[in-house]
Chains A and B, each alone.
Chain A
Amino acid sequence: MKHPRTIAIALCILAASSAARAQERFITLASTTSTEQSGLFDMLLPAFKSATGINVRVVAVGTGQALAIGARGDADALLVHDRTGEDKFIADGHGLDRRDVMFNDFVLIGPKNDPAKIRGLKDAKQAFLLIAKSSSPFASRGDDSGTHRMELRFWKTAAVDLSGKPNWYRELGQGMGPTLNTAAAMNAYVLADRATWANFKNRADLDILMQGDLALYNPYGSILVNPSKGAHIKAADAKIWHEWLTAAPGRATIASFKINGEQLFFPLPETPTN
């Protein structure tokens, strides 16, 4: 008995010492996996902290979940990409002052031998149609994320019927990274945001086959969680973040983020607020 007790006492001291850590100034930001996994925050957050002294704690989840976290009052601000969901979030009274921040774009990735022959196409709808026609394996996020919703819109505009659950269409129910891992293992086509792809290491035989269609552009919005969610919402510091991100310093930092010399996020001009 003596030793478990010694261990327990040691642990209580350990726990107490860490709890006594100095209080730091911070806000909680609910955001998407693409911004985290691309490494954008590794550049953005230190720049913001050195300018303002405020630490940003990022919880990176799918856009749908990020909106849900905000609606529960568990974050102070959001940085997400689903315009329809964002507008509903504001209309429901959960958030305030939605502003354009930046956009990135999606790319169609597939095996280098390109069985569906989509390489170099300029029309994403056409590319989706060819993948379906050739019954080439396609890895879908299948998780109701912003990316998944965009993919479903393309199938719809290309008039591809997935209701029969065709064998080539594989719904994974995973985030962007795990979906890319699986696509690499299956040699499948996949729709991915450029930033996650640029930072993705396990590419196997996959490559970008189709890009540049305007329909593949993807805007990000910054939203303040409504302070009516409770006194715990750090409204003042969240507003400092919101202003910084959408003004010159934040936009310059976003534009300077590059992977292998390639710019991945493009700041959007400030939108008039209403």
Chain B
Amino acid sequence: MNDFSSAFGAALDLIIRLDTELLDIVLLSLRVSLSAAALGFVIGAPCGAALALWRFPGRRLMIALANALLGLPPVVVGLFIYLLLTRSGPLGALGWLFTPAAMIFAQTVLTLPIIIALSHRACEAIWGQHGDSLLVTGASRLRALPVVFAMARIGLITAFIAAFGRAIAEVGAIIVVGGNIRSYTRTMTTAIALETSRGDLALALGLGLILISISLMISSAALWFAPGDGRR
């Protein structure tokens, strides 16, 4: 019990002192993971909708693939992106390795399967119920897309939150491509990994509590803004 109470103490202490290093770490975590979830959403949601609305060869395979990749290990993604971004690799000229850009890149790859799989499910349910009537009113599938998105918005927001949750919680990919450089690429999770390896378990758990609180706030905010869920 002593460990847990000192973790709460460490967390409170960091928050009360408004530790500037902590603030930078929190802001970087949010910037990287929100950017990755947003990029993943912009790319993945249309893909998920396309898989729901259109019929084309390879469609079932792509759905199976998106679902299978939900279990993609972050460290494998990190290694893959590392080999792409290393100076002697195919994208080395970008100079992204050990920068926040590399971390956003890696987490975007991680969030894509989640957003595709979940937005496909959300859009498919809507399309199954309303697809025929939408087509009867004379709209093409492309024209119907915004309507489907609007009707599936709760499912799409869930997809975004799930993707953000995966991104903000993972450490395997960003520690490999970001390098955990102090005050440059150190995030909540890589700081937790570092403090754990320094044996400062209370501080590590304290950082974990702050991470959970922030994650909770973001998810609540996203749900709060979701229209039509009966709260306003």
Contacts and interface: CB of A to CB of B under 8 A. Distances in A.
Contact of A176 (B89, B197, B222, B227): B197
B198 A7 contact: no
B201 A202 contact: yes
Interface in A209-251: 229-230, 232
Given A72-B88, A178-B196, A3 B31 contact: no
B180 interface: yes
Contacts of B87: 72-74, 229-230, 232
A181 B199 contact: yes
Interface stretch (A12-20, A101-109, A116-124, A141-149): A12-20
Interface centre among A4, A7, A36 (most CB of B within 10 A): A4
A102 B95 CA distance: 31
A90 to B, nearest CB: 18
B226 to A, nearest CB: 7
Interface residues of B, number: 40
Given A15-B31, A57-B181, A72-B87, A4 B199 contact: no
A203 B199 contact: yes
B153 A3 contact: yes
Contact of A59 (B35, B88, B181): B181
B52 interface: no
Contacts of B42: 8
B38 A201 contact: no
Contacts of B179: 57, 59
A33 B194 CA distance: 10
B41 A3 contact: no
B196 A177 contact: yes
A33 B180 CA distance: 11
A60 interface: yes
B197 A37 contact: yes
A1 interface: yes
Contacts of A41: 182
B31 A18 contact: yes
B180 A177 contact: no
A15 B197 contact: no
A28 B146 CA distance: 47
A4 B41 contact: yes
B157 interface: yes
Contact of B198 (A8, A72, A199): A199
Interface in B165-214: 179-182, 184, 194, 196-201
Interface in B41-76: 41-42, 45
Interface string A13-49: 0110010000000001000010011000100000000
Contact of B98 (A57, A175, A184): A57
A37 B196 CA distance: 11
A60 B156 CA distance: 39
A58 B87 CA distance: 17
A28 B95 CA distance: 12
Interface centre among B38, B156, B198, B201 (most CB of A within 10 A): B198
Nearest to A175: B197
Interface of B: 31, 34-35, 38, 41-42, 45, 86-89, 92, 95, 97-98, 100, 104, 146, 149-150, 153, 156-157, 160, 179-182, 184, 194, 196-201, 222, 225-227
29 contacts: A2-B227, A3-B226, A4-B156, A7-B38, A7-B160, A7-B222, A8-B38, A15-B35, A28-B98, A33-B197, A37-B197, A59-B180, A59-B181, A72-B87, A72-B89, A74-B87, A74-B97, A175-B197, A176-B197, A177-B196, A177-B198, A178-B196, A178-B197, A180-B199, A181-B197, A199-B198, A201-B201, A202-B201, A232-B95
| Chain A to chain B: the 8 pairs with minimum beta-carbon distance, closest first | A177-B197, A202-B199, A59-B179, A73-B87, A11-B38, A200-B199, A201-B199, A57-B181
Interface of A: 1-4, 6-8, 11-12, 14-15, 18, 28, 33, 36-37, 41, 57-60, 72-74, 175-178, 180-181, 184, 199-203, 229-230, 232
